[in-house]
Amino acid sequence: MKKINYIYYSFFALFLVVGIGTGGFFLLEGYSLIESFYMTMITISTVGFEEVRQLSPDGMLFTSFLIIISFGVFAYFITSATKFILDGEFRNFLKNRKMESVLKNLKDHVIVCGFGRNGKQAVLDLLLHKEKVLLIENTEGIIEDEINEEIRKNENFYHIHGDAVHEEVLLRCKIENAKALITTLPSDADNLFIVLTAVEFNKTMTIISRASDDRSDVKLKRAGATNVIMPDKIGGTRMAKLVSQPDVIEFIESILLRSGVDVNIEEISCSSLDSEMLNKSIRDLNIRKISGANLIGLKTKDKNFVYNPSPDLIITAHDKLFIMGTPEQIKKLENICITK
């Protein structure tokens, strides 16, 4: 909004000059309000139409004064209006107004703070999984870059310009209705502030934060972050694993990188399963036979992970299942097992 303040200033300056001119002709020449307004408009626009009546000496001096002050103001107004339209700011203004109307009804979305390397990759992966993504980015023009055209055209992608550190920006993004927040800013202090603000307005949302300093990990989790990601640490671990276990890492990465194409690992909450599917053993569910997908692990209500679970393990409503299969297989499993 600050960027287009000049258009408001030019409107105000023009309105002020018109008011001074109308008032001056009304008081000095005894014109009616319509006549005074007409005289003011032909004077400041320099169109050269004939006066309503012959001016008195005082009226002549006032008209000369009005021409002097109005010439610059009118030129400033025309220049500002032209710039507002031709520079695309009018289009952006309308776009922002439209975005505000969209934000009013937005819910169950993921807020991503920052569009650097980490933020952009997070946005791409979220859109691949058909999540509604609202990006907050403070750098001008980065989203409008041609390289990001595919992201902009995605119907699940929304973007606002602003600093996510400011509380009013997060409130504008309907943080109270969001399902998750990912903050990828390079400053740990900024990320910490965003986490604190997010927890204040939405205590149930998932919060993922980036961290650069090892000491920031504990602080961010203490502030309320669900998970803290350290890109440098993960990168170092990956490089070491590529030396010691290259095939394993490549296999896992091939699954993650091709997620949504021909293989997927999805999380299914047992609370959404049909009641007939609960309190049964994995063997009785026979997931592979009915869908072709594989159950590779689960998370219990105590937040413990069970890898390669036993066929005799009983599934409860508090568990979460991790399923691997093609998108079609997982969709088939959801259609069979999940309560509509």
C-alpha to C-alpha distances, 334 to 129, 267, 269, 314, nearest whole angstrom: 15, 11, 11, 19
Mean pLDDT of 200-222: 92
Q: Is 310 left (phi over 0), alpha (psi -120 to 50) or beta?
A: beta
Q: Tell me: pLDDT of 1 over 50.
A: no
| Contact by Cβ (8 Å): 192, 220 | yes
Q: Coil, strand or helix: which one is 119?
A: helix
Q: How far is CA 137 from the centre of its chain?
A: 8
Q: Give me the residues paired with residue 134 across strands.
A: 111, 158
Task: Write phi, then psi, for 227 (nearest 5 degrees).
Answer: -140, 150
For the chain, state the CA radius of gyration. Answer: 31
More confident residue, 10 or 35: 35
> Is residue 155's pLDDT more than 90?
no
Nearest to 126 by CA among 142, 112, 147, 145: 112
> Can you tell me whether residue 131 is helix, strand or coil?
coil
CA distance 48 to 43: 7
CA geometry: angle 251, 242, 116, nearest 5 deg: 85
* Residues of the chain above pLDDT 70, percent: 90
CB-CB neighbours of 289 under 10 Å? 7
Q: What pLDDT score was predicted for residue 86?
A: 65
* CA nearest neighbour of 208 among 191, 186, 187: 191
Kindly report, residue by residue over 251-309, the tens digit of the pLDDT: 887 777 655 557 788 888 888 888 888 899 999 988 999 999 999 999 998 889 999 99
DSSP symbol at 211: -
In the chain the first and final C-alpha atoms are separated, in Å, by 44
Judged against a pLDDT cut of 70, whether residue 25 lies above it is answered with yes
pLDDT for 234 beyond 60: yes
Positive or negative: CA dihedral 121, 124, 129, 131: positive
Domains of the chain: 2-86 (1.10.287.70), 106-235 (3.40.50.720), 262-337 (3.30.70.1450)
Reported as type and span, the H/E element at residue 238 is helix 231-244
pLDDT of residue 87: 60
Q: How confident is the model at residue 101 (pLDDT cuts 50, 70, 90)?
A: confident
| pLDDT tens profile 196-207 | 999 999 999 999
Query: What is the predicted pLDDT for the residue at 67?
Result: 83
3-state secondary structure of 209: strand
In sequence order, what are the beta bridge partners of 161?
Answer: 137
User: Can you read off the two tokens belonging to residue 335?
Assistant: 């259609």
pLDDT band at 321 (very low <50, low <70, confident <90, very high): very high
Q: What percent of the chain has pLDDT over 90?
A: 34
Q: Give the pair of three-digit tokens for residue 305.
A: 């992970």
Q: 230 in helix, strand or coil? A: coil
pTM over 0.75: no
Residue 82 and residue 233: Cα distance in Å, rounded?
51
Distance of CA 237 to the CA centre of its chain: 31
Two tokens, residue 245: 């276990």
pLDDT band at 183 (very low <50, low <70, confident <90, very high): very high
- Indicate the pairing of strand 180-183 with strand 206-210: parallel
Judged against a pLDDT cut of 90, whether residue 85 lies above it is answered with no
Distance in angstroms (rounded) separating the CA atoms of residues 8 and 271: 54
Number of residues written out for the chain: 340
In angstroms, what CA-CA distances link 126 with 120, 132, 328? 10, 8, 19
